[in-house]
């Protein structure tokens, strides 16, 4: 079976989900052929880096503008046709050459492009959208999408209320890499607390100085900071803070989550489900992007972490108190175990294998 996965680097979550789905297919059958394609890099090879850099700058400096555009797009149908016939020509070349049995999209833009491409060309290849945030947003919905992978039952209900056939929606959670699925129960061998600080793939987390200084007041706390691809943050922390472990981008986040008692992070969808698979309670400070706010609400509803909504609030006391209160951390951990069992009905590769059998029957 050939599977084409279309993704993009708007943050690192979408790309991570693409890799997670690819790993599932590889593990299910070594004969499966999986192609992961960055749709912007393929369509706009000369300018895609500038587009991604512009996105990063907007998130960092003008997130209010981003949120306004995000809310507006929830009410207005986004038409990608003005992007030009060149897009359809290039996608036609790629699909004709690779002949995929399924196309999976992990960003809304690629889903809309392929949906309109299918309409234009009369294409019958099944198109699947994998939703990567717990967000009730119409950007993920398009007329020629055949199936949806929803992160929760609540998002499934949202899709149904917007006209999607319930039988075409599968609740999969947000797919995570295989190394998160093999994480073992953390067996404590001492009374030290391991705290992991992450800002997502872009390495952005506000008030990092205040955060580290608060943690340093706890005598038995071991602090690890993963800055992702943010080299400035990496260099700053290395130069200004002794006694903490500072890492840049790493493929071994699972190992650090596995030994962590608490993760302090942004409320990204993929990070949320990596934490759920790891069973690691979360401490989220000032979720400011619209998607992050919805993910943070889920964290609160499920009681799998603590959310500090106001960045002006002095959270130091709450953070220290949480780390010192074993029963609260244990309760959050068990809620994560329960959430994983309740949410994830079936893995994407199993679903597509079943769909493929129907297609070829």
For the segment 94-115, what is each residue's pLDDT rounded down to a tens digit?
A: 999 999 999 999 998 899 889 9
Positive/negative CA dihedral, 173, 104, 165, 296: positive
- The number of residues in the chain equals 361
Query: Does residue 235 surpass a pLDDT of 80?
Result: yes
Q: Of 6-20, 153-167, 244-258, 297-311, where does mean pLDDT reach its minimum?
A: 6-20
Query: Does residue 175 surpass a pLDDT of 90?
Result: yes
Estimate the crossing angle of helix 326-343 against helix 316-324, to 10 degrees.
90
> CB within 8 A of 124, min separation 6: which ones?
118
Buried b (16+ CB within 10 A) or exposed e, 193-221: bbbbbbbbbbbbbeebeebbebbeebeeb
Residue 140 tokens read as 């993920």
Q: Structural domains in the chain?
A: 2-173+344-360 (3.40.50), 179-342 (3.40.50.2000)
CA 184 to chain CA centroid, Å, is: 22
For the segment 245-304, what is each residue's pLDDT rounded down to a tens digit?
A: 999 888 899 999 999 999 999 898 999 999 999 999 999 988 888 888 999 999 999 999
Rounded to 10 degrees, the C-alpha dihedral 339/299/284/139 comes to: 110
Query: Does residue 228 surpass a pLDDT of 70?
Result: yes
Mean pLDDT of the chain: 86
The Cα 295–Cα 266 span in angstroms is 10
**pTM of the shown model:** 0.88
CA atoms in the 13 A half-sphere facing the CB of 123: 26
The Cα 28–Cα 218 span in angstroms is 45
**Eight-class DSSP state of 32:** -
The Cα 100–Cα 54 span in angstroms is 32
Estimate the crossing angle of helix 85-98 against helix 108-121, to 10 degrees.
80
Q: What pLDDT score does 312 carry?
A: 67
Residue 323 tokens read as 């780390």
The Cα 266–Cα 273 span in angstroms is 12
Residue 163 or 290, more confident:
163
Q: What pLDDT score does 77 carry?
A: 61
Query: Does residue 18 surpass a pLDDT of 70?
Result: yes
Residue in this structure with the two tokens 């400035």, named with its chain if needed: 232
Residue 93 tokens read as 């070349």
């Amino acid at each position: 079976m050939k599977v084409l996965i279309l993704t993009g680097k708007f943050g690192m979550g979408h790309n991570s989900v693409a890799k997670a789905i690819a790993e599932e297919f590889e593990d299910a059958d070594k004969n499966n052929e999986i192609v992961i394609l960055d749709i912007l890099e393929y369509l706009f090879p000369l300018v895609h880096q500038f587009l991604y850099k512009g996105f990063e700058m907007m998130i960092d400096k003008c997130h209010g503008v981003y949120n306004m555009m995000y809310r507006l797009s929830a009410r207005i149908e986004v038409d990608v046709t003005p992007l030009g016939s060149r897009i359809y020509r290039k996608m036609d070349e790629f699909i004709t050459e690779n002949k995929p049995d399924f196309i999976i999209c992990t960003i809304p833009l690629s889903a809309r492009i392929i949906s309109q491409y299918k309409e234009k060309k009369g294409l019958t290849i099944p198109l699947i959208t994998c939703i990567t945030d717990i967000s009730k947003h119409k950007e993920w919905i398009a007329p020629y999408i055949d199936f949806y992978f929803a992160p929760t039952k609540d998002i499934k209900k949202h899709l149904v209320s917007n006209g999607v056939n319930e039988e075409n929606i599968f609740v999969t959670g947000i797919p995570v890499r295989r190394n998160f699925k093999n994480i073992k129960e953390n067996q404590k061998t001492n009374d030290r607390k391991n705290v992991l600080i992450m800002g997502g793939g872009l390495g952005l987390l506000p008030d990092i100085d205040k955060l580290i200084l608060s943690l340093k007041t706890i005598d038995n706390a071991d602090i690890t900071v993963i800055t992702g691809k943010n080299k400035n943050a990496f260099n700053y922390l290395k130069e200004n803070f002794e006694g903490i472990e500072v890492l840049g981008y790493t493929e071994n986040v699972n190992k650090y989550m596995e030994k962590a008692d608490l993760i302090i992070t942004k409320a990204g969808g993929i990070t949320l489900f990596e934490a759920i698979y790891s069973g690691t309670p979360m401490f989220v400070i000032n979720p400011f992007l619209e998607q992050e706010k919805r993910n943070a609400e889920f964290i609160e509803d499920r009681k799998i972490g603590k959310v500090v909504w106001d960045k002006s609030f002095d959270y130091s006391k709450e953070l220290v108190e949480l780390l010192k209160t074993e029963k609260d951390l244990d309760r959050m951990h068990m809620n994560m175990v329960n959430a994983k069992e309740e949410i994830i009905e079936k893995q994407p590769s199993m679903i597509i294998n079943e769909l493929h059998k129907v297609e070829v029957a």
